[in-house]
Amino acid sequence: METIEAYLNRKGEELRLLNDCLRNPLQLAQPGSVNQVIRDKFQLTARLKAEYALSHWAITETAWADRVQPRSGPFAFDYDYQRADLDVRGPSFYDFDPGWTSETIYTASGMAAISALLFASARVIGKADLVLLPGTYGETLELVEAYTRHLRPVTVGRALDDVITSTSSPRVMLLDACASAALFEATLGCRTPAIDLLIFDSTCLATGSGRIRRVLNWARSWDIPVVMVRSHTKLDSLGAEYGRLGSAVFLDWNSDHSRLIGSKLKQLSTEMRNAVRLLGGAALPAHFPPYVGTSVYRELTNKRMAAILRNTRRAARYFAAALPGLTEELRFAHALYVTLSSATPLDEAAARRRAAAMSDDLAADGFPIRHAGSFGFDFAATEWFHSAATDAYSIRVAVPDLPTELWNDLTDAIARWWSAHQGTTRAARRATHLA
């Protein structure tokens, strides 16, 4: 259990880390409330981005005005016209084991990374089966269905072994933590993973997560080459959404590449760079958080994630008891949010309105909650949610980094609001029927 005093001390450290990256640091007072933490953090990141723009005004998109190498904190950049050949030198966002050989391609977003990778796979891999878990990120599924016709989606049932069939086609698996925790664990327990390439979307997991290490160790033990794709906008900026940034990391196990695709990994990275160039998906140097890479950053990020995960477990238990029949998925593999179901079916518009109304009402009561389509903040975030597995709409509650007592109070308020408004809906429906 984290007290409000311990929470504010920890948040003070986060603010000082951001402040120390400014050329002219501010005189910061110790934060006295959650709202002050949120306000100060977003104001500091805005100042950091403004300083970058002012100090790099002569470094243009076409790189004609100044030959000085641009930098953002520990990151240094080289590029020519429109950043099509962007070269980035700096620390890894991940905490990889020593000895692992990797190549990183940065992009303008997480979706830019996976889009360029899947487009590039058409030239390198050709027609292949794409193994997916139920609950895979919705926009990724849209991309696959609409634009990557060379990949044949194969959805796993209850275990990866269910899709093992004799086929001459390469088999690519797209694994992300948006699946249920049970199915994610079952995948890592598979003893016959006939997978030629693993694309691992790590967006919803902290870069130092033990789950990431387990996935990579599992893949390495079976000599499965890995490409990790990620949006860095979410969990890698201390909850401040510093800028749109994504990446793909190619991991080479230095094995004999017995898999069909292993020997083509370098070719795949080359083709992806071409796809990033042709699609205009190169990263912006200004979007690299300057506070990444230090031991203090990693320590504070780990503490933030530990608090969010603790709060999610508490919320899942509470909602299961307080809202029987009104919850959807409470135990995602990433443990970053939970979903609430309605007594009556919702469409996207109705779910969005319900999420906004709940956030507005509870915020008016003084709770740190917003209607926002992301996660990993210092406030709770609500939004509509569509399950690809059930085709149903629900409400997503993204769990924040808040002190335990305050989060318990907010969890109770969410449950009471949700339960009360289900009753209102049913009463209104009965009244309409009787009229």
pLDDT digits (tens, 9 = 90+) for 85-102: 899 999 999 988 777 778
Which is it for strands 246-252 and 71-72: parallel, antiparallel or unpaired? Answer: unpaired
Residues 50 and 77 in one domain: no
**For residue 109, pLDDT beyond 80:** yes
- What confidence score (pLDDT) does residue 82 get? 76
What CATH number is given to the structural domain containing 336?
3.90.1150
How do residues 144-163 score in pLDDT, each as one tens digit? 999 999 999 998 876 666 55
In the sheet with 226-231, reading across from the earlier edge strand, the strands are 101-107, 246-252, 226-231, 197-201, 171-176, 128-132, 151-155
Q: Are residues 91 and 217 in the same domain?
A: yes
> What's the pLDDT tens digit per position in 312-341?
999 999 999 999 999 999 999 999 999 999
pLDDT, average across residues 116-135? 94
Same domain, 138 and 159: yes
**Does residue 379 surpass a pLDDT of 80?**
yes
421's tokens: 């408004």
Q: What is the pLDDT of residue 321?
A: 97
pLDDT of 420 > 90? The answer is yes
User: In this structure, what token pair is assigned to residue 305?
Assistant: 């994630």
Residue 282 shares a structural domain with residue 301? no
Pair 103, 222 in one domain = yes
SS3 200: strand
Quote the number of domains for the chain.
3
pLDDT over 50 at 433, yes or no: no
In a domain, 64, yes or no: no
Question: pLDDT class for 425, splitting at 50, 70, 90?
Answer: very low
Whether residues 238 and 329 fall in one domain? no
Same domain for 307 and 205: no
- Is there a single domain that holds both residue 103 and residue 42? no
Mean pLDDT confidence for 213-236: 94
Whether residues 152 and 258 fall in one domain: yes
d(CA 36, CA 38): 5
Question: What are the angstrom distances between the C-alpha of 387 and each of 67, 136, 248?
Answer: 49, 9, 26
Of all residues in the chain, the percent with pLDDT exceeding 90 is 74
Residue 66 domain flag? no
Domain match, 282 and 410 both: no
pLDDT tier for residue 418 given thresholds of 50, 70 and 90: very high
Burial of 205 (0-12, 13-18, 19+ CB in 10 A): buried
- Tokens of residue 150, six digits: 């060379």
Domain that holds residue 151: 73-287
Helix (H, G, I), strand (E, B) or coil at 265: helix
**Residue 40 sits in the same domain as residue 150:** no
- Taking only the tens place, the pLDDT of each residue in 21-63 is 999 999 999 999 999 999 999 999 999 999 999 988 777 776 6
113 and 34 together in one domain: no
Give the CATH number for residue 90.
Answer: 3.40.640.10
Q: Is the pLDDT of residue 432 over 50?
A: no
Q: Let me know if residue 68 belongs to a domain.
A: no
Query: What pLDDT is recorded for position 434?
Result: 37
Contact predicate 109/280, CB 8 Å:
no
